Amino acid sequence: MNFRLTVQAISLGIFLFLLWSAAFPLKAWIPADAFIRLDPLVFLGTSISSRQWIWALFPGLVILGLTVVLGRFFCGYICPMGITIDLSDRLLRPRSREPGPFPSSRESGLRRIKYYVLFFMLGMALIGVSSVFLASPLSLVTRLTALVFYPFVILAGDAALDILLPLNMALGLENLAYMELTAYRFSTQWFIVLFFIAVFGLAYHSPRFWCRYLCPSGALMALAGQRALVRRNVSADCTDCGICRKRCPMQAIDEDAHKTFHQECIVCETCVRVCPENAVGFSMHHGEKGLASGRFVPQRRGFMVSALSGAGAAVLVHTNIIQAKTGTFPGHILSETLVRPPGALPEENFQARCIACGLCMKACPTNTLQPVWFEAGPGGMFSPRIRPRRGPCDPLCNVCGQVCPTGAIRSLELNEKMWAKVGTSFVVRHKCLAWEWNRECLVCYEVCPYASIELKRVPESGVPVPYITQHKCSGCGACEYHCPVQGDSAIVVGPMEALRIKKGSFITKGRAIGLELEADPDRQRKPPDHLFDRNDADGLPPGFTF
């Protein structure tokens, strides 16, 4: 195994380990979002769109600086997206296929696409709309791994435990015999899978198709590293056999093997290993004769058109009728299901920072965080929202803010997180067993960790019915999750009165506006005596005796 494959294996292993460790309680000594912070596009695009310098993303700027010296080493050695594509290329690309004539006008046109994509995204960022989630390789591969591969591994592991149950029982391995793995489910999976099938399938056209033609992070690093200090050199021992050009995964070597398109070179050193004359090397000693003259970088007009097109697209996003905005005002349309995680910034700031990587969704222990489609408008696709019917937001969990790489979800201490109100519950009376069906039901009353639900007697109902005390409700969704009504719950959480602030204390702000949010998940609540007849045991809900 050569040096590059060793580094790639280590990088992919660390990436997968960190993603696996993104769980509650968070124990990793390396930040679970460390790899995402290395993407220069995440740093640049998010900083511009949010109008803020985000120190957590500073490693991306470091990578960009190292690219000026070492060339596109990140693409060739560290990027999990590139490593994954290398693996798929080995499986899918026909071995007999060789590159065609090079350079060509068609090839040059394809190579420019990634630059157009980059400046289109930067144009959107200038108008305050982040599109990093659409094409950042670190965001994409994290989303694939977190929302598709991880649930598959959990499902396969649970199936394996069922198959091995007799063997584990026979061997006395009770811990394994009775172990159950919680199944994770996510929306938008089919889109993610189909997208990556297309990316991997493009190996039939050329190896590393995404990296060559489409990756905006690769374009950013190509601009920084087109005259890298350390680059490919060919000595006079070269016999022009052409093996290096045929084996180059990025097709970065000109027909004259002495010349290299350095902005396309990912420093993989394949050419060094395959050269029969040992005539190829990488060093700081080079001359201009080693620079190939292919025009892969667009001219100034192309950059301007791309940036202006991105700005125009951003204006369309801002003027879309369902684009979620901060604040409430007449004519403002907000999806009634758009309940953001606790600590989420105000909506416009949130969307300017969120790169929809999926780490918060993977880390959520109750699987309540789900990617959205268009509930938040085109600029909010794949961003997280709470779906209480799938699971409640645990008052004792704050992992989503701890793993968010961009600060779109604030990292809060538990006492602060409990006051980060995400919305308010309300009773859908025509579905409620007590209100509509005249049946005694205490489920929402029992499970509410904030004791925000009260039971009252009303003339129109023969049984106690639930009422929400809004200033005590955090919107955690425990009531919606446990509601026994089939189909949609009879008590649901909406974004009404969500507390979302960019800075400062949630406790201080919450108390200032009259909230009382003290959670006790172990609270044992008994129904008030005056609501039930002690002598009529049959009139009590199941499980209650006096």
The mean per-residue pLDDT over the stretch 27-31 comes to: 82
Give 396-415 pLDDT, tens digit per residue.
999 999 999 999 999 999 99
Helix axes 137-144, 216-225, angle to 10 degrees: 140
Q: What is the DSSP string of 261-324?
A: -TTT-----HHHHH-TT--EEEES---GGGB-----SPPHHHHHHHHHHHHHHHHHHHT-TT--
The Cα 417–Cα 425 span in angstroms is: 18
Secondary structure class of 452 (helix, strand, coil) = coil
Of 267, 266, 240, 268, nearest in space to 254 by CA: 240
Give 217-242 pLDDT, tens digit per residue.
999 999 998 888 898 988 888 888 88
Does the pLDDT of residue 293 top 80, yes or no?
no
Does the pLDDT of residue 61 top 90, yes or no?
yes
Listed in sequence order, the residues at least 6 apart from 373 whose beta carbon sits closer than 8 Å to its beta carbon are 187, 188, 381
The Cα 33–Cα 336 span in angstroms is: 30
Instruction: Tell me what percent of the residues of the chain surpass a pLDDT of 70.
Output: 92
Report pLDDT for 546: 43
Report pLDDT for 326: 79
Report pLDDT for 294: 58
Does the pLDDT of residue 541 top 70, yes or no?
no
Listed in sequence order, the residues at least 6 apart from 198 whose beta carbon sits closer than 8 Å to its beta carbon are none
Does the pLDDT of residue 257 top 90, yes or no?
no
Q: What is the dihedral of CA 545, 431, 371, 451, to 10 degrees?
A: -40
- Is 497:514 a contact under the CB 8 Å cutoff? no
The Cα 319–Cα 24 span in angstroms is: 38
Of 75, 89, 358, nearest in space to 199 by CA: 89
Question: What average pLDDT does the chain have?
Answer: 88
Report pLDDT for 292: 60
Q: Highest-confidence range of 99-113, 142-156, 321-335, by mean pLDDT? A: 142-156
Does the pLDDT of residue 544 top 70, yes or no?
no
CATH number of this structure's domain 424-494+516-539: 3.30.70
Give 433-467 pLDDT, tens digit per residue.
999 999 989 899 999 999 999 999 988 888 899 99
Give 294-329 pLDDT, tens digit per residue.
567 778 888 999 999 999 999 999 998 888 887 777
Indicate the pairing of strand 369-371 with strand 384-386.
antiparallel
Report pLDDT for 106: 65
Compute how many other C-beta atoms are within 10 angstroms of the C-beta atom of residue 525. Answer: 14
- Is 282:267 a contact under the CB 8 Å cutoff? yes
- Is 14:33 a contact under the CB 8 Å cutoff? no
The mean per-residue pLDDT over the stretch 49-57 comes to: 93
- The confidence band for 512, taking pLDDT boundaries of 50, 70 and 90, is very high
Where exactly are the structural domains of the chain? Answer: 3-290, 424-494+516-539
Report pLDDT for 1: 55
What b/e string do you get for 114-144 counting C-beta neighbours within 10 Å, with b at 16 or more?
bbbbbbbbbbbbebbbbbbbbbbbbbbbbbb
- Where does residue 154 rank: exposed (0-12), middle (13-18), buried (19+ CB within 10 A)? middle
Give the CA distances from residue 141 to residues 137, 256, 332, 421, 513, in Å, rounded to whole numbers and listed in that order: 6, 36, 34, 31, 42
The Cα 526–Cα 515 span in angstroms is: 24
Give 174-208 pLDDT, tens digit per residue.
777 777 788 899 999 999 999 999 999 988 888 89
Does the pLDDT of residue 138 top 90, yes or no?
yes
Lowest mean pLDDT among 249-253, 264-268, 541-545: 541-545
Q: What is the DSSP string of 473-494?
A: -----HHHHH--SSSS-SEEEE
- Is 81:137 a contact under the CB 8 Å cutoff? yes
Compute how many other C-beta atoms are within 10 angstroms of the C-beta atom of residue 310. Answer: 24
Does the pLDDT of residue 104 top 60, yes or no?
no
Report pLDDT for 543: 47
- The confidence band for 526, taking pLDDT boundaries of 50, 70 and 90, is confident
The Cα 50–Cα 3 span in angstroms is: 39
- Is 201:253 a contact under the CB 8 Å cutoff? no
Does the pLDDT of residue 379 top 50, yes or no?
yes
Does the pLDDT of residue 37 top 90, yes or no?
yes
Does the pLDDT of residue 365 top 90, yes or no?
yes
Q: Which two tokens stand for residue 370?
A: 């789900």
Instruction: Tell me what percent of the residues of the chain surpass a pLDDT of 90.
Output: 61
What b/e string do you get for 180-216 counting C-beta neighbours within 10 Å, with b at 16 or more?
eeeebebbbbeebeeebeebbebbeebbbbbbbbbbb
Give 145-168 pLDDT, tens digit per residue.
999 999 999 999 888 888 887 887
